[in-house]
Chain A
Amino acid sequence: MRNWSNTANIWPAAGLLLFLGIWEAGVRLFALPGWLLPSPSAVFSSLLNNFSLIAAHSAYTLLEAGIGYTVSVVLAIFLALIFALSPLIKKILYPLLILSQTIPLIVLAVLFTIWFGWGLLPKILVVVLVCFFPIALSLMNAISNVDLDLISLFKSMGAGPLAIFRMVELPLAMPGLFSGLRIAATYSIMAAVIGEWMGAQHGLGYYMILQQKSFAIDRVLAAVLVICLLSLLMVKLVDMLEYLCIPWNREQVRADYQA
């Protein structure tokens, strides 16, 4: 069992190295110009050379994504509470929620910029728009899947709707909530970047546009690499948060990872 879990880590790394190797060889073999497709070595070296600038821009993007994500979580939990307490409100608002997801994101990003300018607010709004829905939906689904017998039990002991939400529905819905949190985390960074494309002064999206207009595709790809890493970081943070928030699940989670 132990040996398996060690070698299991090698394969993804090996696959990645193979992909990078093919890419590097291809660029050199076909002498592809830098403005068309830079090699992985060019991308890495431009990441190192521009590290402090990219880091400064990353800080802005992380800030936008972090604030937007936090607002999404609070909003989602709050909305789930309202829906749990008032089925009427749920009937009215739920279709609007679905509708909000059908509006093209790029259009909304443009409109937010027109309405709110070029500061942090429009980017945060874009992140909220993207992240809020998966979190809210997974939370509401998890709550609706809570064992009705448990709710009846609490009701029979005299618990009101608020107490039931706090003591039964929310705790039991946590695993479902966290799967939604993970999904939203992967999108949060990209949403912030899209918000920045519509108009910004700082951030990875802004940096990417500037570099693309200067024909420095190696720096564009360096920024893409940072975006991927930051998204993975967000997901890892959610995993850690889950470990802290759901102590009763830890044994199960550990067993899952070892399987």
Chain B
Amino acid sequence: MKKKLALVFIGLFLVSLAGCRSQAPAPPGNPPQKIKVLLDWVPNTNHAGLYIARDQGYYAEEGLEVEIVQPPEGGAAQLIASEQADFAVSYQEEVTMARAQNLPLLAIAAVIQHNSSGFASPQSKNIQTPLDFQGKTYGGWGSPSETAMLKALMKKYGGDVNRINIVNIGTADFFTSVQRDIDFSWIFYGWTGIEAEQKGLKLNFIPLDKEDPAFDFYTPVIIANEKTAASSPQMVERFMKATSRGYLFAVNHPDAAANIMVKAVPELNAGLVNASLRYLAPRFQADAARWGEMKQSTWDAYTAFLVENGLLAQTIDSEKAFTNRFLPAP
């Protein structure tokens, strides 16, 4: 009797194992697959597509249950590399530098087609061109890509990067920082720039994509671990299909998207989210054939720039750094 009972239990155990993570799309009745997405910073409109896809049920339709999580102080890149999360929001610069250190990161979509970031300062600081950075204080977050960019700009304009006072201000707010001895910072115009407009603070903004074609890189991007991409391609496809729908919703209905964002993250200022999404809506996809698509030349240009300036530990194969294969067909 005992032997039979044991066999029954073993059989049940084996059957339950078979129910674990499968590749096929979840038929109704199967519990959705749990996915963790790490943000790069505090929730903002760069993440609109993720929140929309979650709250409008696009992820659920693909059989995914997505948890959107703040990154710890350590940053998302290393957590993706050590497989502590499935996807994260990152930047082309971070992916490039990480891959040079052998972190297996893979960019799978570009959130905004062209670089909307740049160096901003209150007009009172009188910073009109990068040459004016000299003798001023830069407030950054301690990433090597910042020093790389400042060095490159100084080289281009014939200035000396050592004359810039570089301070790590971590996640301190731009508006508080500039009142406290920080002169300029690197911001996303679509978020901090719009916020300045709303606050009535006049900024001098130096957009990076206008400085050099190599600086029109993809930021932010959505990344995954190479292993995830190789072992669960269908899950990644389903995630990207829903995420893509989310961003396209924001492109076509920015006001409705703003409402969803504010409901998802009530701490956000509704006026700012509205204005920001109206700014970003034409820029998410811009001139690309589909949202998220990336070009080899953009990746190569930035990598080449880093290598030329001796700013990369070892050169990387840009082809392996990104892929469009998980994006839904145009």
Contact = CB atoms under 8 A, between A and B. Distances in A.
Contacts of A34: 101-102
B233 interface: no
B101 A118 contact: no
A198 B77 CA distance: 20
A213 B167 contact: no
Interface in A1-58: 33-36
A216 B172 CA distance: 24
Contacts of B176: 114
Given A118-B181, A210-B142, A199 B75 contact: no
B91 to A, nearest CB: 12
B78 A35 contact: yes
A200 B77 contact: no
SS class, residues of chain B in contact with chain A: loop
Given A35-B102, A117-B180, A118-B181, A212 B166 contact: no
A146 interface: no
B101 A35 contact: yes
A210 B168 contact: yes
A113 interface: yes
A209 interface: yes
A118 B139 CA distance: 10
Contacts of A118: 167, 169, 180-182
B168 A199 contact: yes
B144 interface: yes
A215 interface: yes
A133 interface: no
Nearest to B74: A212
A213 B144 contact: yes
Nearest to B179: A114
A201 interface: yes
A215 B97 contact: yes
B271 interface: no
Interface in A190-223: 197-201, 206, 209-210, 212-216
B82 interface: yes
Contact of B82 (A36, A197, A199, A206): A36
A178 to B, nearest CB: 35
Interface string B101-138: 11100000000000000000000000000000000000
Nearest to B176: A114
A212 B81 CA distance: 14
B165 interface: yes
B143 interface: yes
Nearest to A220: B74
B164 to A, nearest CB: 12
B310 interface: no
Contacts of A206: 142, 168
Nearest to B81: A35
A197 B170 contact: yes
A126 to B, nearest CB: 14
Contacts of B98: 35, 215
B141 interface: yes
B166 A201 contact: yes
Contacts of A214: 97, 101, 143-144
B103 A215 contact: yes
10 contacts: A33-B102, A33-B103, A34-B102, A35-B101, A35-B103, A118-B169, A199-B169, A201-B168, A214-B143, A215-B98
